[in-house]
Amino acid sequence: MMKKKREITLCMGSSCFARGNARTLEVIRTFLKEHDIEAGVFLKGSRCEGLCSKGPVVRVDDAVYTGVSPDGIEEILLREFGEGEDVHD
Ligand code: FES
Protein backbone atom coordinates (compact mmCIF):
# COMPACT_ATOMS: atom_id res chain seq x y z
CA MET A 1 0.00 0.00 0.00
CA MET A 2 1.14 3.52 -0.76
CA LYS A 3 2.32 5.46 2.25
CA LYS A 4 0.87 8.86 2.98
CA LYS A 5 1.77 11.33 0.30
CA ARG A 6 4.62 13.65 1.20
CA GLU A 7 4.34 17.35 0.56
CA ILE A 8 6.80 19.99 -0.59
CA THR A 9 5.68 23.60 -0.28
CA LEU A 10 7.73 26.16 -2.12
CA CYS A 11 7.31 29.81 -1.21
CA MET A 12 6.38 31.65 -4.38
CA GLY A 13 6.07 35.02 -2.70
CA SER A 14 7.93 37.73 -4.61
CA SER A 15 10.86 37.84 -2.20
CA CYS A 16 11.56 34.10 -2.18
CA PHE A 17 10.70 33.66 -5.83
CA ALA A 18 13.10 36.38 -6.95
CA ARG A 19 15.88 35.20 -4.66
CA GLY A 20 16.07 31.65 -5.89
CA ASN A 21 12.86 29.68 -5.59
CA ALA A 22 12.09 30.13 -9.27
CA ARG A 23 15.15 28.03 -10.08
CA THR A 24 14.76 25.83 -7.01
CA LEU A 25 11.36 24.78 -8.35
CA GLU A 26 13.00 23.43 -11.48
CA VAL A 27 15.63 21.57 -9.44
CA ILE A 28 12.88 19.97 -7.31
CA ARG A 29 10.89 18.94 -10.38
CA THR A 30 13.95 17.34 -11.91
CA PHE A 31 14.83 15.55 -8.65
CA LEU A 32 11.34 14.08 -8.28
CA LYS A 33 11.41 12.90 -11.85
CA GLU A 34 14.91 11.42 -11.71
CA HIS A 35 14.13 9.56 -8.48
CA ASP A 36 10.79 8.43 -9.83
CA ILE A 37 8.87 9.74 -6.83
CA GLU A 38 6.62 12.28 -8.55
CA ALA A 39 3.55 10.21 -7.74
CA GLY A 40 4.30 10.12 -4.01
CA VAL A 41 5.08 13.78 -3.50
CA PHE A 42 2.63 16.65 -3.73
CA LEU A 43 4.42 19.80 -4.88
CA LYS A 44 2.71 23.09 -4.23
CA GLY A 45 3.44 26.78 -3.93
CA SER A 46 2.52 29.22 -1.21
CA ARG A 47 2.17 32.97 -1.46
CA CYS A 48 4.32 33.89 1.52
CA GLU A 49 5.43 31.99 4.60
CA GLY A 50 5.92 35.15 6.67
CA LEU A 51 9.67 34.52 6.82
CA CYS A 52 10.78 36.73 3.94
CA SER A 53 13.93 37.99 5.68
CA LYS A 54 15.06 34.40 6.15
CA GLY A 55 14.07 33.21 2.69
CA PRO A 56 14.00 31.61 0.29
CA VAL A 57 11.72 29.26 2.21
CA VAL A 58 10.89 25.65 1.33
CA ARG A 59 8.80 23.32 3.49
CA VAL A 60 8.93 19.55 3.36
CA ASP A 61 5.94 18.23 5.28
CA ASP A 62 6.30 20.06 8.62
CA ALA A 63 9.99 20.89 8.33
CA VAL A 64 10.72 24.49 7.38
CA TYR A 65 13.97 25.20 5.54
CA THR A 66 15.17 28.80 5.26
CA GLY A 67 17.89 30.35 3.16
CA VAL A 68 17.45 27.64 0.54
CA SER A 69 19.41 28.05 -2.67
CA PRO A 70 18.98 26.21 -5.97
CA ASP A 71 22.37 24.62 -5.28
CA GLY A 72 21.46 23.59 -1.74
CA ILE A 73 18.04 22.10 -2.31
CA GLU A 74 19.35 18.77 -3.60
CA GLU A 75 21.07 18.01 -0.29
CA ILE A 76 17.79 18.71 1.53
CA LEU A 77 15.85 16.51 -0.86
CA LEU A 78 18.33 13.67 -0.48
CA ARG A 79 18.05 13.91 3.29
CA GLU A 80 14.26 14.00 3.19
CA PHE A 81 13.65 11.45 0.47
CA GLY A 82 16.82 9.41 0.24
CA GLU A 83 16.87 7.65 -3.08
CA GLY A 84 13.11 7.52 -3.05
CA GLU A 85 12.56 4.19 -1.39
CA ASP A 86 10.67 5.60 1.58
CA VAL A 87 7.92 7.04 -0.57
CA HIS A 88 7.32 3.84 -2.47
CA ASP A 89 5.11 1.11 -1.16
S1 FES B 1 7.98 35.68 0.19
FE2 FES B 1 8.65 33.77 1.00
S3 FES B 1 8.42 34.01 3.12
FE4 FES B 1 7.60 35.82 2.32
74 CA to middle of ligand 1, Å?
A: 20
CB 31 within 8 A of CB 42: no
Q: Could you give the residue ranges of the DSSP H alpha helices within the chain?
A: 14-16, 22-34, 73-81
State the DSSP H helix or E strand holding residue 44, giving kind and residue range, or none if neither.
strand 41-46
Q: Is the dihedral of CA 15, 41, 74, 67 positive or negative?
A: positive
Phi and psi (nearest 5°) for 10? -105, 130
55 Cβ inside 6 Å of ligand 1: yes
54 CA to middle of ligand 1, Å?
A: 8
Mean pLDDT for each 10-residue chunk of the chain (89 residues)? Answer: 84 97 98 95 97 98 97 97 61
Predicted local confidence at residue 45, as pLDDT: 97
